[in-house]
A and B are shown apart, each in its own frame.
Chain A
Amino acid sequence: MRCYVLDVQLSDQNIEAYALGCAVLGAGGGGDTPVGLAMARLAIAESGPVPVLPPDGLGPDTLVMPCGLIGSPTIAHERIWSGQEGRQLADAVAALHDRPVDTVMCYEIAGANGLLPVSWAALLGLPLLDADGMGRAFPEMQQQAMHVAGVPAGPLVLTDGRGNDIVLHTANNTDAERLARGCTAALGGVCAGALYVMTGPVARSAVIPGSVSRALQVGTAMQRCRDGWPSALAELTGGRVLAEGRIVELERSSGAGFTRGHAVVDSGTTDTRRLRLELQNEVLLALEDGEVVATVPDVIAVLALEDGRPIGTERLEYGRRVGVVAIPTPDVWWTPAGLDVVGPRLFGYDLAPVPGSARPVATGAGRDS
């Protein structure tokens, strides 16, 4: 019999706060939360609360299954899940590893990807690991702490929820990303995937610990706030408020799976500070009067000033009042190996990464060579 440390559980009492936290940490990435939230709620109502297990609590012979949505969130809004995806992934993973899955994990804490694994864990009767692979949203599957730690993404399992599973044995994690995208298109444009499956001891040193409790903490605090969300968020996460003001310029184009463009936020009451945000699905850079003040891998979150809700890049609107907050990301992303997969250069910006707030860890190591 296994013994869990039942510090936290996700239940109908706190799932909404958790979902808000996932949206905030995702800064609008990872897909909208309502579908994932509805699924998590229904699964919890059917199967009970989901225990959240700290990585330290993983036993030596346990198998951890990171999982989530792969493909287009837009299609996922129409092609609603069958509900069997978690079971199908777990069965296929168990067959590949010749033992059952013990713990479910979010590969990405952001948006819907923070919630789908909760619904699958509930229906499987398994705990959820208090961890994820990104600590925020990133677009590609090799942008994971497990990749930096040398864990192979494959063999990975993809399922379309109506009986079609694909197992990919891959040469390396970059190929895994490329092949999984191709398979996703064949599975209807969106699918459920399990990747970086690992044992407990490997997970303990490879994952980003504490992501689930962090999302819950952020969401709970933001729910309690009545105003002043940007400063509350900055205080809570050790981040910094970059601007509060109106969007006075917005240019955005969609296509080929990406939203690109820029927005300008004018603080414009006492001074004329203008913050320019560069968008590629997520906000990747913030510049103040031409000077870079924050870059990926830190999260640059845009919140509506009227209610504190995060606004994804697709939902930004001219004239809206917003707050922009730089939220520090886990230290792994500021190591040279981390910046090799998630630094500004990976997104086509030829500049050194700039943390959005003072970091206790020396960031000099993080500058690209």
Chain B
Amino acid sequence: MTPERSGATGLRMGIDVGSTNTDTVLVDADGSVTARAKVPAVADLAECIDTAVSSLLVRGTVDPAAVCAISLGTDRSQDSVDAGADLRRVAVLRIGAPLSGAIPPMATWPAGLRSMVDAGTAIVAGGCELDGTRIAPLDERAVARFADAVAGRADAVAVTAVFSPVDPADELRAARILADRLGPVTVSASHEIGSMGLLERENATVLNAALSGGVEHTASALRAVVRRHGMDAECFLTQRDGTLRALGHATRFPILAIGSGPANSMRGGAHGSGLADAVVVDVGGSRTTVGRLVDGFPDESTSPYTIGGVVTNLRLPDLVVLPLGGGSLRDARCNGGPLATLTDAAVADGRTTAGGVGVPESDRAGLARRLARYDQLLAEAVDRIGLGAHGLPVLVVGGGGGIAPDRLPGIGRVVRPPHGEVANAVGAAVAPVGGTAERICGGRPDLLRRAVEELSAEAVDHAVQAGAWPERVRVAGVEEIPLSYLRDPAVRVRVRAVGPPLVPPRMPGPPSGRPGVPSRSPARSPR
């Protein structure tokens, strides 16, 4: 269906580690799901991955060597911030003095989280105005002094300059000075993480740096499983924009993986249905998540995203989450269990079949009312996410999908794609590798044109660094969003490039008519 999937001539494996289950699928070069497994999730991520892969490969029908790409989706980064666990100590450098001193770095963080992450902060001279005019020359000596002051205390560094989305030069220069003096610590630069809004972008950058340790653990766990099972596959992590990044690149941007779960479900649902524009309803055990796919990618929210009490300007998929799902099947009435669940309601209503016991007559009136209420909330959520666009199809995925009705008011049709129960793993398996580039520039047409050209080249470059097949990367979208409340127009331009993953060559080789598989680039590390 999508051109991306044909990049792999072998099998692609998708793994989604959720809070309840780990889902795994294998997808062949034609995009068909050839194997799937669902195992209960445990606390240890490495164990989750290993169990899931084992259960898929144990059947003996799959040759591990035929697996050419493995994509892992996990929201463990989010858990890590919420729990304050596995976070690195971060030195936070802001460039913008004499401006910005009224709210120093991390001044708005909850004290507990700050005490775990803060390894020293400083504000040094530099940065620019919206039109690119320098606020002050970058104080390189102050950057060096800061590096010396935090050496030995900080495991990672976050650098944020005022208006770096307009001109990232000071961030890049400071990052180089810090790397030279501090050696092998992770340096996160804000222009690669977020957009306008200094404090929110800085917060996101600090969190990204803090998460860089945890994501490395995830990466090594995945690599170990791959080796143990005799696979020679390229490894990827899923991102919240519905794309993949190769491990070596993804570990630099752990924060971009937060929110990837819903993105994977949406893409997986779309894959099985052949739809690229749809509302996707993902019904789990305890909640229902409603999102929107636009041209194959998750629609993004405009609201700021708060994580662990820290406000960021990360743009997560725009979702409505209902605190209602199918319930635990094991405990359901239709399985002889003690709980009257919405799955029981759907069984009583004839929407789905589950369990073997049937639903007691005495429960039916109450269940019918709960199901009607669910239908109403779902219809409203679908309408809100679909922006009232009548006729938009609705894709129902997830393990509890049976409780969703076949008809919703104002909806064209309800589609239940094949393998919808493991849509998140399917989405991880089939996603393209992506790269983005973003900048704020003046609204003059010539400036805009030049920015789009430069950013397109940059986005393609980023996609290749993230592990895309260089010959087959294409620009998938150009966004131009005018900034509001400005006297002189300025535009935020964002370009996204995607391509199939570049994977190790397989026998019997690429299908005829395509260029030969290029040799693997020796280094995936970014510039």
Q: Which residues of A contact B (CB under 8 A)?
A: 34-35, 38-39, 42, 71-75, 77-84, 119, 161-163, 181, 184-185, 188-189, 246, 248-249, 254-259, 281, 314-315, 317-320
Contacts and interface: CB of A to CB of B under 8 A. Distances in A.
A162 B380 CA distance: 50
Contacts of A42: 102-103, 107
Nearest to A71: B487
Given A80-B99, A257-B486, A259-B484, 7 more contacts: A38-B103, A80-B199, A161-B98, A188-B130, A317-B302, A319-B384, A319-B388
Contact of B196 (A77, A81, A256): A77
Give me the 5 closest cross-chain CB pairs, A-B, nearest first: A319-B384, A83-B102, A80-B100, A81-B102, A254-B484
Nearest to B102: A83
Contacts of B311: 34
Contact of B487 (A83, A181, A248, A319): A181
Contact of A81 (B99, B484, B488): B99
A81 B104 CA distance: 10
A81 B129 CA distance: 13
Contacts of A319: 380, 383-385, 387-388
A80 to B, nearest CB: 4
Contacts of A75: 130, 486
Contacts of B163: 78-79
B487 to A, nearest CB: 5
Contacts of B96: 80
B131 to A, nearest CB: 8
B470 interface: no
Contacts of B200: 77
Interface residues of B, number: 38
B196 A80 contact: no
A249 B302 CA distance: 18
Contacts of B107: 38, 42
Interface in B367-389: 380, 383-385, 387-388
Contact of A189 (B101, B380, B388, B487): B487
Nearest to B165: A78
B46 interface: no
Contacts of A258: 485
B198 A38 contact: no
Contacts of B384: 246, 317-320
A74 B197 CA distance: 8
A129 to B, nearest CB: 22
A82 B100 contact: yes
B483 interface: yes
B521 interface: no
Nearest to A189: B130
A77 B130 CA distance: 12
A315 B107 CA distance: 26
B236 to A, nearest CB: 33
B484 A318 contact: no
A154 B339 CA distance: 72
Given A162-B135, A255-B482, A83 B387 contact: no
Contacts of B286: none
